[in-house]
Structure 1
């Protein structure tokens, strides 16, 4: 529950009392006899302070914020009326309402003076209630934003963890084979793999990275995938690196590339292919990945699609109303086109 700080409530109650001192002084000529006026006004000011404090520390937390708002209205009305009656008949029975300085017996019933007490008391009560309700709504909104932020952070971390890591182990096996053959590509491939691991473990923990780092990761991935087959596979890559400093969420584009290699059967030199292109502008990118679709689906094709679904969720969370994702799934091709506003 929203905590109530008594010093703040006391200051607020004092502010309402001062407000009514000014109002009644103007209406009742209190500026002509200020000391006498304040002495006569003292009980009313005590009543205003009491009403505000009881409302903020008792009624609002225990009734209104506890969703017992009908009881809150009844209890609030009772408090205001009770304080008005006490002021009218309990403190100074020989005086009328403070701005009426004449003496005289008070009426025995609920008279005009009692109704006049209700105006400042009710105003202070409802005004303090409005302030506290707005403060409470702001508090709940901050709580919701914080909870949403924590939820987004957790979900994004989970989604990024779903980036398929199995190719790393395949790359290690391929590099090991190169070392046995004493191939000069072994050391270069190992450096590429180390760079990819560093990007996945450290750079991806940040909210945004430079587009150039994401492109470098994609290029390293493609180079390592080529190690799987020494033949000239049909892989075409055209990545625009003219704006490497554009900010982008890390590991956002690689799932499209992973899916393309996973489902294209690019090792089929006759029919398999992968096409990857990236075009940048001052405000964003257009990323397009196309791959062949084998006539006979493989087991990987039957279990695929998780990476693409993860990217959809990440795009919705990170770039709401700032992206457009189109998927064209034909009989012999699969095309994904992502238009993304980055700045």
Structure 2
């Protein structure tokens, strides 16, 4: 709500209050004559607060100056109303009760009493308007903070994705390079698989979420590409129990775990190594398991990689706060990861 609309709302509020009091005075025109000027000065005071005092002083943290200027404005405006717009205060009945008698000294009512009354009215108007302005400012700041946090999260996710994708491309090209010297026919097939995967990475992964079906197709293509570098099959098992293909998940969320299993299981040792992948998906939950063997002797791998697992942990914290469970179980022979995602 902009400043002008807030001014209209507050003026309308005091107008409604005045009308209610006027009806309670049995539509006495004398009451309007006595209070019209003070109402106009209420409007002026609220205008000064919304357009000048709050944005220039209060919200720039000049609190002392704001307090001094505000008090001066209330007192000066009350002074002007009292001494320059003197309206006769005719005795009249309020709610059919007689007006109070004169003071003991039987003298005329002194202006200071009327002045204090105006200070009170303007002070109440100013305080209410100030409370509404502070509330509106806090809501605006909260919205700006949430927007800034969302932008930061979006930028961080883009950065994490940009770290994952080159890693994936590097591994895939290594596989194709190895295959090129063995079988040109398989090389062509692997290039087709790679193009499908790149299409997924470049286009589908730009979305916040993708269907679990597409994510699984990407994983299957990745494993096919990996398997093509050898004429013998690898001890890799993948089991799927997909009750709802329309379930949606953040893209590229599972593949870092699979890359990690391929890298550290020494899968080339077909007699002693294994990788088991299980994915279950319902309309409310996705359960992902990957278990791989650990070689008895430490296998020396290339120094590239290792960023996937850390990135996926960060993405999980951002995308599924309080909606995911990541368990890592490791012993001397096996390494297992279980990831549960709540979709609602």
Scaled to the shorter chain, the TM-score interval is 0.7 to 0.9
Deviation at 1:182, TM superposition (A): 4.6
Question: In structure 2, the residue corresponding to 1:240 is in which secondary structure?
Answer: strand
TM-score by length of structure 2 reads 0.86
Shift of 1:273: 1.9
After superposition, give the CA deviation of every residue in 1:208-251 in whole Å (9 maximum; x if it has no partner).
11101000111111111112332332212112234221111111
Distance 1:25 1:197 in 2: 74
Question: Pairwise CA RMSD of aligned residues?
Answer: 2.8
Distance 1:72 1:53 in 2: 15
How far did 1:27 drift?
5.2
Q: Where does structure 1 differ by over 6 angstroms across 4 or more consecutive aligned residues?
A: 97-102
Alignment of 1:308-319 (within 5 A): 308-319=309-320
CA distance in 1, matches of 2:253, 2:80: 69
Which of the residues 79, 87, 91 maps onto 2:81? 87
Runs of 5+ consecutive residues of structure 1 not aligned to the other structure: none
2:110 corresponds in structure 1 to 107
- 1:162 aligned counterpart, secondary structure: helix
Partner of 1:59: 53
How high is the TM-score relative to the length of structure 1? 0.86
Q: Distance in 2 between matches of 1:191 and 1:303?
A: 25
1:1-343 alignment to 2 at 5 Å? 5-26=2-23, 28-29=25-26, 31-33=27-29, 36-92=30-86, 95-96=88-89, 106-108=109-111, 110-111=112-113, 113-163=114-164, 164-165=167-168, 166-174=170-178, 176-177=180-181, 181-183=183-185, 185-300=186-301, 305-343=306-344
Does the Cα contact within 8 Å between 1:16 and 1:49 map onto a contact in 2?
no
- CA positional deviation for 1:258: 0.6
CA contact (8 A) 1:9 1:53 kept: no
Structure 2 unaligned residues grouped into runs of 5+: 100-106
- TM-superposed deviation, 1:159: 1.1
Question: Between Structure 1 and Structure 2, how many residues are aligned?
Answer: 331
